[in-house]
Amino acid sequence: MDYKIKKLLIICLIPLLGKTQNDKLQTIGTSINYLIECPCKLFKYYEDGNMFYFCRDQKNNLEYRIIEYKHQDKIDVILNTIKKNINKKDERILTDSSETNQHNTLNNYLKNNPNGVITSFMKRQAILVENRLEHKLFFSDPDFISSHELIVSGTDSTIVKYYFKKVSQSFMLKRENINKLF
């Protein structure tokens, strides 16, 4: 019996001792997956049909929140893909519609955050809001399936600004950067 327990213990410990991810890259997103480097473990939960990611960095007294707003569900994505493949000539119309919806979403966000500015983020338009103790970044994915809002808040404006910049610069599409995981 003692031999079986030792064997079980070794089997359970081997995966823990194997190659682990040294950096703090974490995956977020349900339809389009992103990688983000965050100093604390992001916990996800659902509320009012949106996905939330949250963590508290006790060392720097910061809170990180990422909210994912869904614009399309998986069936819409499949139907739009089929529609694009069937109507190759009308692909411009479908793209224009998606760009109009994304533009409207950005404008609505600006209305709710009047001190926000339009900026470029991952080769697309985004909204940057820099308050003294809270910085926000709002952007949509390339296919306009969902939008994300990154919020970093804390009690020291210098630390908030530094970590917001660091975290926002770490954002990347997982499908384009899969090699960084290994």
Question: What CATH number does residue 175 fall under?
Answer: 3.40.1000
pLDDT of the residue at 59: 94
Structural domain that includes position 59: 21-181
Answer yes or no: is 68 within a domain.
yes
Cβ contacts of 170-174, under 8 Å, gap ≥ 24: 170/25, 170/35, 170/36, 170/37, 170/38, 171/34, 171/35, 171/36, 171/121, 171/122, 172/34, 172/35, 172/36, 172/122, 173/32, 173/33, 173/34, 173/35, 173/122, 174/27, 174/29, 174/33, 174/34, 174/35
Number of domains in the chain: 1
Considering Cα of 166, then 149, then 131, then 125, what sign does the dihedral take? Answer: positive
Answer yes or no: is 165 within a domain.
yes
Answer yes or no: is 16 within a domain.
no
Which stretches in the chain have pLDDT values below 50? 15-22, 93-94, 182
Q: Which residue has the tokens 């064997």?
A: 7
pLDDT of the residue at 179: 59
Rounded to two decimals, the pTM is: 0.74
Answer yes or no: is 14 within a domain.
no
Contacts with 28 (C-beta within 8 Å, 6 or more apart), sequence order = 34, 35, 36, 42, 44, 53, 66, 68, 148
Answer yes or no: is 111 within a domain.
yes
Answer yes or no: is 8 within a domain.
no
Answer yes or no: is 152 within a domain.
yes
Answer yes or no: is 108 within a domain.
yes
